[in-house]
Amino acid sequence: MSSTDQALVFRAVERRRSAVAAFVRTLPPGVAVAALVIVLFVAAAAAPGHLQTHNPFRTDLYATLQPPSLAHLFGTDQSGRDLFSRVVEGTRQSLTIGIGATGLSLSIALLLGVTAGLAGGAVDAAISRFLEVLFAFPNLFLALLFVTVFAATPATLVIAVGIGTAPGYARMIRGQFLSVKRAGYVEAARTLGHSYGRVVRQHIFPNAMRPLVVMITLGLGQSIVWASGLAFLGLGVAPPSPEWGALLDAGRHYVTRAWWLEVMPGLAIIAFALSATVVSRHLQDRLEGRVHAG
Amino acid sequence: MPADGVPLLKVEDLRVSFGRDEPRGTVVKGVSFTLHPGRCLGIVGESGSGKSVTARSIVGLAGLGGFVHAKTIAFNGHSLIGQADRQWRRIRGRHIGYILQDALTSLDQLRSVGREVGEGLELHGVTRSAAERDARVVELLTSVGLPDPAIKARQLPSELSGGQRQRALIASALALDPELLIADEPTTALDVTVQAQVLDLLEQTKARGKALILISHDLAVVSRMADEVIVMCNGDVVEQGPAAEIFARPRHGYTRRLIDAIPSAHRRGSRLAPASAPRLRVAEEVRPEAVASGPLLEASGLVKRFRGPDKILRTAVAGVSFALAQGETLGIVGESGSGKSTVARIVMALEEPDEGYVRLNGLPWTGIAERERRARRRFIAMVYQDPLSSFDPRWTIERIIADAIPDTEAHRPGRVSELLNLVSLPASHRGRRALDLSGGQRQRVAVARAVASRPNVIVCDEPVSALDVSVQAQILDLLGDLKRELGVSYLFISHDLGVVHHVSDRVLVMSGGEVVESSEADDVFLAPRHPYSRTLLAAVPRLPIAPAA
């Protein structure tokens, strides 16, 4: 690489950096904090070793059930393991389950929602009735059924949560397609003599899919809450694992003596779900703002 | 002008600004006037002129982030400057009534009309019992000419028609018998016959000795009511004085232009915008393809019925026939619900007629498969009332126009610029999005898209109804130029008789799904035969000036 090439690359990177800086500057403080929290969680999932203060699996029988202190930020559990390091260790599994469940749920929802929204008529009616039947079962019941029939592994948890949350998204996506199908610009494209396929490709699909980004971020937080809930009920990842829900499950026997065993993993779940929601709300405003403000 | 006694309202040097961004954020730059009982002040201006903010500031509702400065705002001799919210509430409703443009959004959708009208009576403790209040409400609704007032009082606003809602809103403003009534575009969304009724009502109020501030973009409406007129432009008062004088001898160029832009003040087909506007020149090759002789578009016995939410079939179009020749403009005029837009949709083959047929360029156009129609859709294009909703929000102007160019010549460079040039939009606008353009520019883009495929026929459904009168004039001129230069034919649909008369060669008057009159444009407007045409024509407010030659 010649020096001019390097200079160009450097300049390009600079420009991107300044664009990022400009973007960050326009973030409201609350959203910036939420984004930072998410970055921290992602870092914890990617490289837990760099954030952990202790080995999350090493027991220390001389320091069981220690309250939070400088030595142990989140306190220790009944075996003397450092809770902070365990929460960090569990991030990867919790996020993976959350992402997997959201991905699965959106895939199912897209398939059903897009088919119903585009096809209309009898197909739409059939899918809509099917979704209504799914809605009639409480989400938790569906997930419970799934986990009971199959073994309680992280994969089962992903599938259970994915199926449980899919009907809501499917209905939302169907509604999007139906409303975009009625938009003035779709009719205008028809009067130009474009084929239906072209109208779907050019207008209906991109415009109907616009809220998807927001749905993904909102869904992530929700899925993690869901997965943790199931794990807490002993229906997901089993307690020796530091998955957040499993941590909650393990700590509930000691809740009268060691509040931090429940509060700290709970805070992690809340922090992630809240941050994901705040960021997605902001994205929503921003994306829709772009639609309105050009 | 009777200037004796204390004026009811005295405003001196009213300035309103939004945000700290002076002077750019200043939307009202020094308005002064006095208003006496039984008089009407008209405030005229186009969108963004500051006329509504002026009126809202007088009742202390300038809006969020608005700063109001004035030397004097005195009502009945008492200063209104620096009032607390609580004091304002005692004045609003009781002493100053306010009528907003959109009755549907200003009335609570979940409360009956009677409760809405009676709310003020209750809040200000005028009536002591529910029975007394209800009796007063029915009395008020009767006074604004609402049919079956006792029944209407129990209905929800959504169950009333637009004109009835507007009258209910006026009734609620009149409930406490305020000395001053402010009406902000009170008739803009209404059909002309309903508008005439509402204006009559306001006139009666004025005759009872109430003062009135009437805000409108419609000079003719203001000229009918106002004793004194303020003409506003970009926050400035450009002209102020007795109404008769301003309309007869406008001194300011802007007022002159506003009056000139009104189609009914002109000879049919003449240009409306100032002469300095560039005349359009079209390259030979943009002309649409020539067609065989005979009518371009022929509709015969069109009938369309729709099933309402109550499962009852209603006939929207009941036997409409017409023919459109090359280079001709056929106007369709009618009030809301007359079926004129349904005719447009049938002609665009967006809706199949239940009976009758349409032929385009001598070939069947309805009753055939969409697949057969698709290749011929380029011969007929449409311009919508709301261009914004007809553009994909993600697309730039360039892409919107390029998308309408037939595939056979889509890759010819410069075609988009050519079309932008044709509608007098700078080529620099091609990268913009429709949201960044003004209403008039958007409609120009819509026209460019319509002519992109070189159609023979362009269907215009209320193309200028959402535009300010000066912008409307430019678009009408543009359509006229394109007709002359390209030889296209228009099916021109509008509720505005002045506009239809100005652009059309022949006119259909529609009412209740039927064509009640069909003849040469001048005949319909100068010597209407059908009683409905006469009613429609009589309801149009007119400027007290002779038509310009």
pLDDT of A264 above 50: yes
Average pLDDT over residues B403-410: 80
Chain B contact set for A203 (CB, 8 A):
392
pLDDT of A3 above 60: no
Q: Determine phi and psi for B353, rounding to 5 degrees.
A: -70, 150
pLDDT of residue B214: 93
Alpha helices in B27-81 (DSSP H): 51-58
Chain A contact set for B384 (CB, 8 A):
184, 188
The pair of structure tokens assigned to B378 is 């380029």
Cα separation, B456 vs B360, whole angstroms: 9
Q: Which of B109, B60, B119, B67 is nearest to B84 (CA)?
A: B60
Higher pLDDT, B98 or A290: B98
Nearest CA to CA, how far is B531 from chain A (Å)?
36
pLDDT of residue B548: 44
Strand order in the sheet with B180-184: B96-99, B180-184, B211-216, B40-44, B228-233, B236-242
Check if B350 contacts A (Cβ < 8 Å).
Answer: yes
pLDDT of B190 above 80: no
- In this complex, the residue of A184, A202, A206 whose CB is nearest that of residue B386 is A184
- The total of other beta-carbon atoms located within 10 Å of residue B10's CB is 20
pLDDT of A109 above 80: yes
Average pLDDT over residues B272-292: 52
pLDDT of residue B31: 92
Domains of chain B: 1-95+179-260 (3.40.50.300), 104-177 (no CATH), 296-539 (3.40.50.300)
Q: Which of A83, A60, A6 is nearest to A246 (CA)?
A: A83
Chain A contact set for B381 (CB, 8 A):
191-192
pLDDT of residue A59: 87
Give the model confidence (pLDDT) of B110-122 as tens digits.
Answer: 888 888 888 888 8
Cα separation, B9 vs B74, whole angstroms: 6
Nearest CA to CA, how far is A203 from chain B (Å)?
7
Using an 8 Å Cβ cutoff, are B12 and B35 in contact? no
Test B394 with A206 for CB contact under 8 angstroms: yes
Q: Which of A141-155, B40-54, B230-244 has the lowest mean pLDDT?
A: A141-155
pLDDT of B4 above 70: no
Amino acid at B545: I
pLDDT of residue B276: 47
Using an 8 Å Cβ cutoff, are B470 and B260 in contact? no
Using an 8 Å Cβ cutoff, are B174 and B127 in contact? no
pLDDT classification of B21: cutoffs 50, 70, 90: low
Chain B contact set for A292 (CB, 8 A):
435
- Counting every residue written for chain B, the total comes to 549
Chain A contact set for B432 (CB, 8 A):
294
Helix-, strand-, coil-residue percentages of chain A, each rounded to 5:
75, 0, 25
Test A293 with B391 for CB contact under 8 angstroms: no
Task: Tell me if residue B470 falls in helix, strand or coil.
Answer: helix
Using an 8 Å Cβ cutoff, are B133 and B117 in contact? no
pLDDT of residue A152: 74
Average pLDDT over residues A224-236: 81
Test A191 with B350 for CB contact under 8 angstroms: yes
Strand-pairing partners, residue B43, are B215, B230
The torsion region of residue B478 among left (phi > 0), alpha (psi -120 to 50) and beta comes to alpha
Burial of A108 (0-12, 13-18, 19+ CB in 10 A): middle
pLDDT of residue A292: 39
In B371-390, the residues whose Cβ lies within 8 Å of chain A are 373-378, 380-382, 384, 386, 389-390
Give the model confidence (pLDDT) of A54-63 as tens digits.
Answer: 888 888 888 8
pLDDT of A150 above 50: yes
pLDDT of residue A174: 93
Give the model confidence (pLDDT) of B105-152 as tens digits.
Answer: 777 878 888 888 888 888 877 777 888 888 889 988 888 878 788 888
Cα separation, B25 vs B153, whole angstroms: 43
pLDDT of residue A12: 54
Evaluate the CA torsion angle B436, B441, B447, B453 in order and state its sign.
negative
Q: 3-state secondary structure string, B312-328?
A: CEEEEEEEEEEEECCCC
pLDDT of residue A19: 67
Cα separation, B225 vs B204, whole angstroms: 11
pLDDT of residue B1: 43
Q: Which of B296, B355, B284 is nearest to B328 (CA)?
A: B296
pLDDT classification of A7: cutoffs 50, 70, 90: low
Test B377 with A184 for CB contact under 8 angstroms: no
pLDDT of A187 above 70: yes
Any idea what DSSP says for residue A67? P
* Of A7-16, A73-82, A220-229, highest mean pLDDT: A73-82
**What's the mean per-residue pLDDT of chain B?**
84
A207-222 b/e (C-beta count within 10 Å ≥ 16 → b):
bbbbbbebbbbbbbbb
pLDDT of residue A291: 43
Task: Tell me if residue B329 falls in helix, strand or coil.
Answer: strand
Mutate to test the interface with A, among B351, B385, B392 (most CBs of A within 10 A): B392
Strand-pairing partners, residue A44, are none
pLDDT of B284 above 50: no
Test B432 with A195 for CB contact under 8 angstroms: no
pLDDT of B14 above 50: yes
Using an 8 Å Cβ cutoff, are B143 and B171 in contact? yes
What beta strand segments (E) does B113-271 contain? 180-184, 211-216, 228-233, 236-242
- The total of other beta-carbon atoms located within 10 Å of residue B547's CB is 12
Average pLDDT over residues B416-430: 88
CA distances from A125 to A113, A116, A157, B71 (A): 12, 8, 30, 66
Asked casually if ipTM beats, i.e. exceeds, 0.85, the reply is no
Alpha helices in B18-129 (DSSP H): 51-58, 85-91, 103-106, 113-123
Strand-pairing partners, residue B12, are B72
Q: Which of B8-12, B253-257, B457-461 has the lowest mean pLDDT?
A: B253-257
